[in-house]
Structure 1
């Protein structure tokens, strides 16, 4: 393959066949790493539609399968792999409307994915504008990790902390406050704390984007106006959740 990609076999049926496919994938990744070749892998299967990008521990367990078979401890195996978190932040998600519409449909009734829906999402994601894009490479994860869950948390912490805050995240929260609606993921938080998050974000963004903020506020409002109110709620949550995630990690 010209781009050095590799196939993840998800079509295997039966416990033994699935295990063999998992073992083969784990072997390949571990071998590539041992040979000094980088392997880029997503932190979870599929796309996060709600703005919460959380590492699936099953991915880490897959990475360990091969070395576990060789009798290597979990912590030693992960240190040998030299895992490096990478945070990629988009100012705008080209598929925000599609994702929000799907979330709204799922909440209202059983959702049936239409033919070609995934292809459309891929094409929109490739072709449509994302605004500014920021890529930040974190520090290699080295340490004494007890299990996949512990390592997943360490990965998430770096990814969230390295996430670049763009104006749409703040604007989404301010829209919610202005509308008097509490974001679903903030339902257990007080409005005061919600306002504190928005205030801290505004102070950060004013320093970063003093001239851009008012222009982007109008642009964001126009983007929302393309969708009905019941879909707008999900778009707002989608943009606000990364900011909430960032606040939760950095405030502990």
Structure 2
């Protein structure tokens, strides 16, 4: 059993709390509106509510409600299929720290858990920023599904305390509770397609390390995870946010986060692929030989990035965008007319959605978002960063 006195403010709900919080949810008007939005049938909502009211454990909730919901309402309706690779790199009896690129607020971790269940593994606990816990029902639903809270936007002293506690929680979950953890490589979603691991994340993880650099990171069993959507779920809104931030001083609100969650769940994604890298182990000895800890942290971040770039599943849009930006027909043979026409439609939708401003700049931003994964993968191959 966890030491809940230390982690009460961030931990997921325990099994003995599950039924209570489910019934709190079922009395929440906003949550009931969500159920009606999903199922669009009063009788179906009554049936689902009756099933939920009797759920006693997190595992039961995930198997009876979340797994079918992700499969039927998200994967079958909004994707052209989910595939994965590299699962053979993982011992199903072990726990890992999955560090991935971050493209969608909810889907990244939701689809990961769908995949690991398919592969015969336990679901992972997932990190979620407290800025996304806009309503009580959101906090309840994510904590019921194994999410723990990352506290953000705190004064420096409070942030250090919160970071130490978060680090201890993650390490304990992996090393003592034998539960895997998912966390994004950076705060906030990647909006330009250029995935980079923040040093701050690795420094936070190292705060609970009672040993040396190598042993501390080795016991976390870091697995780089590459998440690739053929079509960015929130691609247009991401570019709109970047463009308006640069040109108009746009400041994102909680309402914008809520819209992004909804868009990610409901908009088309095309094909989706999750690629599991090999656990980072032997490389740690070499990384630790650098002159100072700061360099070692950055080198570890670079290695995670290189793994994510190398294993990223590239789609025709990635090649097409790179071709359009460079005005080079290098990838011409791999891109059919239908793909070109559809991508052109997306560019026009982008300009119409933003509704004014520099259309050429907006299109370049959109193309760059799709081109960067390809360019990063090519740079890794050229530099031999993984050798």
TM-score (norm 2): 0.55
Matched, 1:216 2:216: no
2:168 pairs, out of 15, 27, 36, with 27
- Once the 2 structures are TM-superposed, how far is the Cα of residue 113 of structure 1 from its aligned partner? 2.7
The within-5 A match list for 1:121-200 is: 121-142=260-281, 143-144=284-285, 145-146=287-288, 147-178=296-327, 195=328, 199=330
The within-5 A match list for 1:37-116 is: 37-67=179-209, 70=210, 72-114=211-253, 116=255
Q: Distance in 2 between matches of 1:74 and 1:202?
A: 46
Q: Distance in 2 between matches of 1:202 and 1:79?
A: 43
What's the secondary structure of 2:183's corresponding residue? coil
What's the secondary structure of 1:226's corresponding residue? helix
What's the secondary structure of 1:55's corresponding residue? coil
Q: Report what 2:63 is aligned to.
A: none
Instruction: Looking at secondary structure, tell me which structure has more strand per residue.
Output: 2
Q: What are structure 2's unaligned runs of at least 5 residues?
A: 1-142, 289-295, 352-358
In the superposition, relative to structure 1, how do residues 115 and 42 fare at CA in structure 2: closer, same or farther (>3 Å)? closer
Q: Distance in 2 between matches of 1:131 and 1:79?
A: 36
2:370 pairs, out of 230, 239, 250, with 239
In the superposition, relative to structure 1, how do residues 8 and 231 fare at CA in structure 2: closer, same or farther (>3 Å)? same
Q: What are structure 1's unaligned runs of at least 5 residues?
A: 179-194, 207-211
In the superposition, relative to structure 1, how do residues 10 and 103 fare at CA in structure 2: closer, same or farther (>3 Å)? closer
Q: Distance in 2 between matches of 1:14 and 1:42?
A: 22
Q: Which runs of 4+ in 1 moved over 4 A?
A: none
- Once the 2 structures are TM-superposed, how far is the Cα of residue 73 of structure 1 from its aligned partner? 0.8
In the superposition, relative to structure 1, how do residues 121 and 23 fare at CA in structure 2: closer, same or farther (>3 Å)? same
- Once the 2 structures are TM-superposed, how far is the Cα of residue 119 of structure 1 from its aligned partner? 1.0
Q: Distance in 1 between matches of 2:180 and 2:362?
A: 40
- Once the 2 structures are TM-superposed, how far is the Cα of residue 52 of structure 1 from its aligned partner? 0.5
Q: Between Structure 1 and Structure 2, whose CA radius of gyration is higher?
A: 2
C-alpha RMSD over aligned residues: 1.8
In the superposition, relative to structure 1, how do residues 81 and 202 fare at CA in structure 2: closer, same or farther (>3 Å)? farther
- Once the 2 structures are TM-superposed, how far is the Cα of residue 169 of structure 1 from its aligned partner? 0.9
Q: Distance in 2 between matches of 1:48 and 1:169?
A: 15
- Once the 2 structures are TM-superposed, how far is the Cα of residue 111 of structure 1 from its aligned partner? 2.1
1:59-79 alpha-carbon deviations (Å, 9 max, x no partner): 011111011xx3x11121001
Q: Distance in 2 between matches of 1:45 and 1:113?
A: 14
Comparing 48-57 with 226-235, greater Cα deviation is found at: 226-235
Q: Report what 1:190 is aligned to.
A: none
What's the secondary structure of 1:221's corresponding residue? helix
- Once the 2 structures are TM-superposed, how far is the Cα of residue 115 of structure 1 from its aligned partner? 5.6
In the superposition, relative to structure 1, how do residues 11 and 244 fare at CA in structure 2: closer, same or farther (>3 Å)? closer
Q: Which structure's relative contact order is higher, taking Cα pairs within 8 Å and 6+ residues apart?
A: 1
